[in-house]
Structure 1
Amino acid sequence: MSETVYLDHAATTPMHPEVIEVMTETMKRNFGNASSIHQIGRESRGLVEEARRTFAESIHAKPQEIVITSGGTESDNMAILKTAEKYRDRGRHIITTAVEHPAVLKPVEYLAEAGFEITYLPVNEDGEITLEQVQAALREDTILVSIMYGNNEIGSLMPIGDIGRYLKESAPGVVFHTDAVQAYGTEDIDVKDEKIDLLSVSAHKINGPKGIGFLYINDDLSIPRLIMGGEQENNRRGGTENVPAIAGFKKAVELRMVNKSELRESYSYFKKLFINKLEETEIDFSVNGSIEKGLPHILSLHLKGIPAYKLLIHLDLARIAVSIGSACSAGNVDPSHVLIALYNDNHPAIEETVRISFGQGVTEEGIIKTVNKIQNTCASLKVN
């Protein structure tokens, strides 16, 4: 059987061996309920609080500003729905972008059905929005601005710091949320400098376990809980803490923070190598978004004249994993809303785009194998 080449790290990442080791040891030794007052419980509580400090340090926050959740989707839902609930008497206008993850778009759509008014900012040719767009969209009844840090399909980065600082100075009553799930672990995030009120993170994007994440909530902000139950997470999120997953998440963050610069350089190198190898072929292609300014681990390619789903099948049969959109839309035959926002409903790129994303375990040999397979498949599909 041929060796698997995994190039879908934007969908999820394999757990780092050290993360698995930490989780395994935690499951063996720290089974106590972190809310119990006996020694076994207090040992688990100690692990949770150590992790909270690590999460906080990674974004320059305070430990008490971190609410541990089940992942990015819960964090996004809590940030958006509960901000709207808290401040609906102040106004019912929300600003977001046309290229957000479904974990943001779905709760925003839910709020629209409940009587809120939503402004969706369009993106430019690089998949970005500008501070000026946010300024123009602000109204007296605006209560929330939710803009992703980096896009999960084309890798475009948004001017989060510029927006956050402007809002804090010129519209201090507006809450600023960013979905940083795809950017966390590669970008340098400072919630205080960038004046971010709410920030969502998920562990499985940085070689941590699935089903765990956190929501940063600025000390100056208080929003109701989304998950009702016990008094865990300082009475902000009910549910018995998943101590092994939290410990694994902590290890993943520690590894990522130490190696962030090195990882960024390797991802940028892999991206350039992939493009260079494609350019050596006769494949007609273009890059969706910006090569230089985007997230280093995401490469969105329009392979002109090649149906993406057919290419995906051929690559899969060769044990090469890539994507034709967000993994959270798996099984959904609808075209990518991100590519529609970047181009238009009828642009060929909508049906001819694949996403390549880099991470742990990617090698030059794997990239060369993938490009060769794409070259052979494209030639075959054009003949047929």
Structure 2
Amino acid sequence: MARVYLDWNATAPLRPEARAAMVEAMDLVGNPSSVHAEGRAAKALMERARGDLAEALGAGAADVVFVSGATEAAALALAGRGLHGAAIEHDAVRAWVTEDLAVDANGRVAVADPGTSTLQLANSETGVVQDLPGGLAVSDWTQGFGKLPVAFDWSGVEMAFVSAHKIGGPKGVGALVLRRGLDVDPRIRGGGQEMGRRSGTENLVGIAGFAAAARAAARDLAEGAWERVDKLRNILEKTLEASARETIFVGKGVSRLPNTSLMVTPGWKGETQVMQMDLAGFAVSAGSACSSGKVKASSVLRTMGLSEGDAGCALRVSLGPATTEAEVTAFAEAWIAAHDRFRRRGR
């Protein structure tokens, strides 16, 4: 079998629709800020893309701000606001908040004052989905968007942000969406692009790919693609549980993303499992792609009450609509074989 990609939460493979839209956008020579015909053509493409993304988000087009990715969007939404957050948030959020929101053993967060708080829609490592309270100041939708039905205008959230490459768009482009009537202090000043909220010539090629990916992601949701993925994830966990009874599947008792399985096998280091599975032909991770290169236990799992040792023994498998049952079965067989070797060595 060819290599199998099971790290969709780190980045999703580029969708063919996004690739085609990007190639088409490359042929447009104009700057979206120019007033001549070429500039107007570029501007028209960008605004169509903004409208398509807004529709997928359930928001108004004028409320969508294109940026370089979710990290920049987080800074734009959070910097200088003194909001409260939890230690399970992405590092791009934790950099700007006071980490004092309580987290339970299942990774669920209690928010006392939504108007002064930020809370992610879903966690990239555990897949645990949060119930977002009305009036929430900011929410990271990077992992949930495209996998869960969302409607910004009905969510009660004041600001949310997303990233293209998590839904099969290109890397290096994202968006911040704001409640109508709200605004942000620009972090990047200059020519006043993006309605004065983010200066710099827009990444037209990336934006075109982002919008195409958002349209395709909305289609997948409507057609039940993630329900099939959820069934595959459950098959995987049931198969592994039968052979590794000591393995913990984090967040299994609460709502999770349909594609995410984070397993902890005490004594078996996560990075060791990643290397063994990589050699066997499977791409998986030991946690968030932004931290998996660091040899340290997951702060998310430590916050949920796991010991330092157990938190360092996590392996994340994240599936996607293109994942097949044969690939899941092949991974399960490879992991079980490696687990059997680990147990024999431990005796």
TM bracket (short chain): over 0.9
- Pairing 1:223–2:184 present: yes
Q: Which runs of 5+ in 1 are unaligned?
A: 85-91, 109-117, 168-174
Q: Give the corresponding residue for 2:89.
A: 100
* Correspondence list, 1:332-351, <5 A: 332-346=294-308, 348-351=309-312
- 1:99-149, Cα deviation, whole Å (9 max, x unpaired): 0000101133xxxxxxxxx2521222221123xxx22xx4xxx96311101
| 3-state DSSP of counterpart to 2:100 | strand
Assess if the C-alpha contact under 8 Å between 2:229 and 2:323 holds in 1.
no
CA distance in 1 between partners of 2:253 and 2:45 (Å): 40
Q: Give the corresponding residue for 1:24.
A: 23
CA distance in 1 between partners of 2:130 and 2:328 (Å): 28
- Pairing 1:124–2:104 present: yes
- The Cα RMSD (Å) is 1.7
Q: Give the corresponding residue for 1:252.
A: 213
Q: Give the corresponding residue for 2:120.
A: 148
* Correspondence list, 1:49-198, <5 A: 49-81=47-79, 84=81, 92=82, 94-108=83-97, 118-130=98-110, 134-135=111-112, 138=113, 144-160=116-132, 163-164=133-134, 167=135, 176-198=137-159
CA distance in 2 between partners of 1:345 and 1:376 (Å): 26
- 1:316-368, Cα deviation, whole Å (9 max, x unpaired): 1112011101101142122111000112444x431221001011431111111
CA distance in 2 between partners of 1:313 and 1:257 (Å): 34
Deviation of 1:220 after TM superposition, in Å, equals 2.3
- Pairing 1:5–2:4 present: yes
Deviation of 1:199 after TM superposition, in Å, equals 0.3
Assess if the C-alpha contact under 8 Å between 1:206 and 1:253 holds in 2.
yes
Letter in 1 for 2:29: F
Assess if the C-alpha contact under 8 Å between 1:196 and 1:218 holds in 2.
yes
CA distance in 2 between partners of 1:16 and 1:106 (Å): 31
Deviation of 1:377 after TM superposition, in Å, equals 0.8
Letter in 2 for 1:9: W
Q: Give the corresponding residue for 1:112.
A: none
Assess if the C-alpha contact under 8 Å between 2:229 and 2:321 holds in 1.
no
Q: Give the corresponding residue for 2:172.
A: 211
Q: Which runs of 5+ in 2 are unaligned?
A: none
Question: Which of 214, 226, 234 matches 1:264?
Answer: 226
| 3-state DSSP of counterpart to 1:107 | coil
Assess if the C-alpha contact under 8 Å between 1:157 and 1:294 holds in 2.
yes
CA distance in 2 between partners of 1:31 and 1:95 (Å): 44
Assess if the C-alpha contact under 8 Å between 1:30 and 1:243 holds in 2.
no
Percent of pairs with identical residues: 31
Deviation of 1:283 after TM superposition, in Å, equals 5.0
Normalised to the residue count of structure 2, the TM-score between the two structures is 0.94
Deviation of 1:266 after TM superposition, in Å, equals 1.7
| 3-state DSSP of counterpart to 2:96 | helix
Deviation of 1:265 after TM superposition, in Å, equals 0.6
Letter in 2 for 1:126: N
CA distance in 2 between partners of 1:21 and 1:308 (Å): 37
Letter in 1 for 2:326: E
| 3-state DSSP of counterpart to 1:338 | helix
Moved more, 205-214 or 283-292: 283-292
Normalised to the residue count of structure 1, the TM-score between the two structures is 0.85
Assess if the C-alpha contact under 8 Å between 2:285 and 2:292 holds in 1.
no
Q: Give the corresponding residue for 1:14.
A: 13
| 3-state DSSP of counterpart to 2:150 | coil
Q: Give the corresponding residue for 2:324.
A: 363
Assess if the C-alpha contact under 8 Å between 2:63 and 2:177 holds in 1.
yes
Letter in 1 for 2:169: G
Q: Give the corresponding residue for 1:309.
A: 271
Assess if the C-alpha contact under 8 Å between 1:232 and 1:239 holds in 2.
yes
- Pairing 1:239–2:200 present: yes
CA distance in 2 between partners of 1:377 and 1:74 (Å): 40
Deviation of 1:382 after TM superposition, in Å, equals 2.3
Assess if the C-alpha contact under 8 Å between 2:246 and 2:266 holds in 1.
yes
Deviation of 1:202 after TM superposition, in Å, equals 0.2
Assess if the C-alpha contact under 8 Å between 1:324 and 1:355 holds in 2.
yes
Letter in 2 for 1:106: A
